[in-house]
Structures are given as C-alpha cells and as structure tokens.
C-alpha cells in the first residue's frame, strides 16, 4: 500500500481482485476506489481507461447481484401463506356417572304399551268395585212414583216440603192436618175450588192445634183431579206423608194405612193403575191386614167432605 490517498496501486488492487481466494470479497470494493485506481494508473502511464475483462467481471457481477436480488424480490411478494386454524384444546375427560345414575340407566323400563294399560286401571277398579257393590234400593210403587209427581207441588210447598205459599208438610205437619190419608186424597183431588163450590169453609182435622185450615186462607189449592190420574194423586200423597212428613209405616197408627195405600204391593194403587177403581166412587177394594182381617181405609167419595 502507498501513502497517497491511502490507496494502493492499481496493479496491487487487480492482483487482489484476481486472487481466487478473495474473489468474493472483490465484489464488495466500492466503485469510487476502483475509479481512483484507474485514474492513478492513467497518471503513471499504465493506462486504465479500458477495463479489462477481469476488472469488469467482478463489477458486473457486483452490479448484477442487486438486480438479481431485486428481480427475485417480487417473486417473494404476494399474499402470505394461509395458515391453519389454531388447534382446538383437548376435550376434558368425561366424568363418570354417579352410581345412582348408572343404576337408573340399567333399570328395566316399562314398555310403552304397558303405560296405556296402566292408565286404564282406575277405570277398571271403579267398574270392579261397582260390580261388587249393591246398588241403591229402588223404591217401587206409590212412593217411587210420588217423587216425580211432587214436582207439581214443590213450587208452593217447597222442594223439601218445608212450605212456602202453601202449608208445610215436613216435621209431621201434614199428619196433624190429615190424620187419615183419605181426607188428604180428597182435598188434593177437589182442591179449593171444589170445597168452595160445596160450601165447605174448612178442610183438615179440627183437632189439630189451631183447628182446621180455612179454605183459601193460604193460597189456592188446584183441583188435581182434572190434571192427574188417581194413581198419581195417591202416589204424591204417599210421598208427602211418608217421605216428607215422616210417617212411620211400622207404627201402629200408620201400618194399616201404609199397607192399603202406599206399600209397593198396595191393592188400592194397583187397582187405580189398572183402571179398575175411580177415587170418586163410594167403594174401595177390600184390603186385608197381615192377620187376614179387612182394613177400613175409608173412601174419597164423589164430592168434597169435611175431615173425619
């Protein structure tokens, strides 16, 4: 190396450039140093304007390197490579079922068709119980029929016979007014109009507390003899006396009356239903008691009459 400018002769620089061991390093010599080397060589008469192939090759290589790099650069541009979705975290371990859940799963289930059968069990049970249970006693004869016929009387005397526009039947009141059933049948048959026409001012027993009822004093009693059959009139009177009034068919004072008029096998009721008897006639069929003796049941008669 020489001291002017701090740069060696061009021959020395070329020797360095030609050295195979440092060929790679030549490419890194700055251009202004090469230019100054050429100028120095030209000044001492060694030429330097013309570039030898050996000199230019490294320069060309050096100059082409950025171009190659620049040319290669666009190839590296473009959309970034698509990366895959982040891996899902591992599933947590399955927690084993508690023993009671395992037992429930292993338990045998009821078949679906059995559910429909079981749903009908209450109905079958109800039918079975009803089949083994005795039904309610069906009242036949006058007392059975009298319940339906009483709908004609309930509006005045109350559904339970407690009274209203008309006098009450319940609590034995009807029995106090009519101790004998024939007197009550006669009053129902002829009514207020018939008693007024016959000039009979009272009806019922005069021995009751307060005396007999005054005809027409409390409401007007229709003449049901023109609206109901004889059998229906007897049936409703029996209902009023024994169901609403409380008469005891086993008591001595009512036993014969019940047997003749209101029992299921009542001969008077049977004769009225068969059309063999008219309440307005003066005769009644013979009725025998349990001892076989005739029963005096009284008659209704062809017209109103005071109570016995």
Query: N- to C-terminal Cα distance for the chain?
Result: 178
Cβ–Cβ contacts within 10 Å for residue 48, how many?
19
Domain 141-295 coded CATH 1.10.760.10 = yes
Phi and psi angles of residue 8, each rounded to the nearest 5 degrees, phi first = -70, 175
- Residue 56 binned pLDDT confidence (cut-offs 50, 70, 90): very low
pLDDT value of position 216: 87
Rg (CA), the chain: 68
Give the residue, 283 or 98, on which the prediction is more confident: 98
pLDDT value of position 142: 95
> pTM value?
0.56
CA distance 271 to 218: 34
- Residue 89 binned pLDDT confidence (cut-offs 50, 70, 90): confident
Where exactly are the structural domains of the chain?
4-64, 141-295
Nearest by Cα to 290 from 262, 246, 258, 268: 258
Average confidence score pLDDT of the chain: 78
- Residue 4 binned pLDDT confidence (cut-offs 50, 70, 90): very low
240 pLDDT above the threshold of 80: yes
Give the residue, 158 or 66, on which the prediction is more confident: 158
């Amino acid at each position: 190396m020489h001291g002017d400018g701090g740069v060696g002769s061009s021959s020395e620089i070329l020797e360095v450039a030609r050295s195979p061991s440092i060929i790679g390093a030549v490419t890194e010599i700055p251009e202004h140093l090469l230019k100054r080397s050429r100028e120095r060589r030209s000044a001492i008469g060694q030429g330097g304007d013309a570039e030898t192939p050996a000199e230019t090759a490294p320069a060309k290589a050096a100059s082409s390197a950025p171009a190659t790099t620049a040319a290669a650069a666009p190839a590296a541009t473009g959309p970034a490579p698509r990366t895959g979705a982040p891996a899902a975290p591992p599933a947590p371990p399955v927690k084993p079922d508690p023993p009671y859940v395992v037992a429930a799963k292993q338990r045998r289930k009821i078949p679906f068709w059995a559910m429909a059968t079981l749903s009908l069990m209450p109905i079958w049970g109800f039918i079975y119980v009803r089949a083994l249970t005795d039904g309610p006693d069906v009242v036949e004869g006058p007392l059975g029929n009298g319940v339906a016929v009483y709908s004609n009387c309930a509006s005045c005397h109350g559904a339970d016979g407690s009274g209203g526009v008309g006098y009450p039947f319940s609590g034995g009141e009807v029995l106090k007014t009519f101790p004998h059933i024939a007197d009550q049948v006669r009053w129902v048959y002829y009514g207020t109009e018939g008693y007024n026409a016959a000039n009979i001012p009272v009806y019922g027993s005069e021995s009751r507390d307060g005396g007999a009822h005054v005809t027409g004093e409390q409401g007007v009693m229709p003449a049901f003899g023109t609206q109901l059959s004889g059998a229906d009139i007897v049936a409703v009177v029996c209902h009023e006396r024994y169901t609403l009034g409380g008469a005891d068919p086993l008591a001595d004072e009512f036993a014969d009356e019940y047997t003749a008029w209101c029992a299921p096998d009542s001969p008077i009721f049977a004769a009225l239903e068969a059309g063999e008897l008219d309440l307005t006639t003066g005769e009644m069929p013979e009725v025998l008691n349990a001892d076989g003796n005739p029963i005096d049941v009284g008659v209704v008669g062809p017209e109103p009459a005071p109570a016995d």
